Chains A and B, each alone.
Chain A
Amino acid sequence: AQTVTQSQPEMSVQEAETVTLSCTYDTSENNYYLFWYKQPPSRQMILVIRQEAYKQQNATENRFSVNFQKAAKSFSLKISDSQLGDTAMYFCACVGGATNKLIFGTGTLLAVQP
């Protein structure tokens, strides 16, 4: 079984500043993937960044990067130079095993303030 925990229901950041969203997970799989998805208001969920558990190097995608601590089962998302368009619900998710089904956390609502 897999679980994903996001302990920050809401976060706020000033435009151009940096913010870090926290996520912890638990899984019995040896080979698994971790994701951060963004869900803007009334819009579809899109993938922000993906991390393969067997890779030690932290994934980066432009202004988005992760801090993957495998032993601690921690997977935080850092957003640099925050933009107004980053305002959204952010979900951390884990997938492992053959089904590729995603297990999501409860989400963090990020508000970027002008």
Chain B
Amino acid sequence: DTGVSQDPRHKITKRGQNVTFRCDPISEHNRLYWYRQTLGQGPEFLTYFQNEAQLEKSRLLSDRFSAERPKGSFSTLEIQRTEQGDSAMYLCASSLRAGGRDTEAFFGQGTRLTVV
């Protein structure tokens, strides 16, 4: 296993277009997280899944954002009608929860979105 992978690494899109990002977590990890990181800031939590269930969504996740993890493996994050304010690095992380405890979260390299 090569760790958490994200695709694409970079995406430039025109305002108003839809974009979709993919995250492949470490294979045995049952928890998957999405974060957004803007320049000069720390990552901010967007949403997380345990297996295929989306258990929490941040208020940062507007109606234009949707995330799925259909089979409890990879996840997609879609942004509809992109706005310039959506420009950011989107980070995915995964961890294993077992026995009431979590392993550390492992991060992917992120997808850098630029909305022009």
Contacts and interface: CB of A to CB of B under 8 A. Distances in A.
B31 A100 contact: yes
Interface residues of A, number: 21
Nearest to A101: B45
A44 B35 CA distance: 13
Interface stretch (A59-67, A72-80, A104-112): A104-112
Contacts, number: 52
Interface string B13-34: 0000000000000000001010
Contact of B109 (A43, A100, A106): A43
B9 to A, nearest CB: 10
Contacts of B109: 43-44
B42 A106 contact: yes
Contacts of B56: 99, 101
Contact of B45 (A44, A45, A102): A102
Interface string A76-114: 000000000000000101010001111111110000000
Interface of B: 3-4, 31, 33, 35, 40-45, 48, 55-56, 91, 93, 95, 97, 102, 104-110
26 contacts: A44-B108, A44-B110, A45-B43, A45-B91, A46-B107, A47-B104, A91-B43, A95-B102, A99-B55, A100-B31, A100-B95, A100-B97, A101-B33, A101-B45, A102-B33, A102-B45, A102-B93, A102-B105, A104-B42, A104-B43, A104-B44, A105-B42, A106-B41, A106-B42, A107-B40, A107-B42
Given A95-B102, A107-B42, 8 more contacts: A37-B107, A43-B109, A47-B104, A100-B31, A100-B48, A100-B97, A101-B48, A104-B43
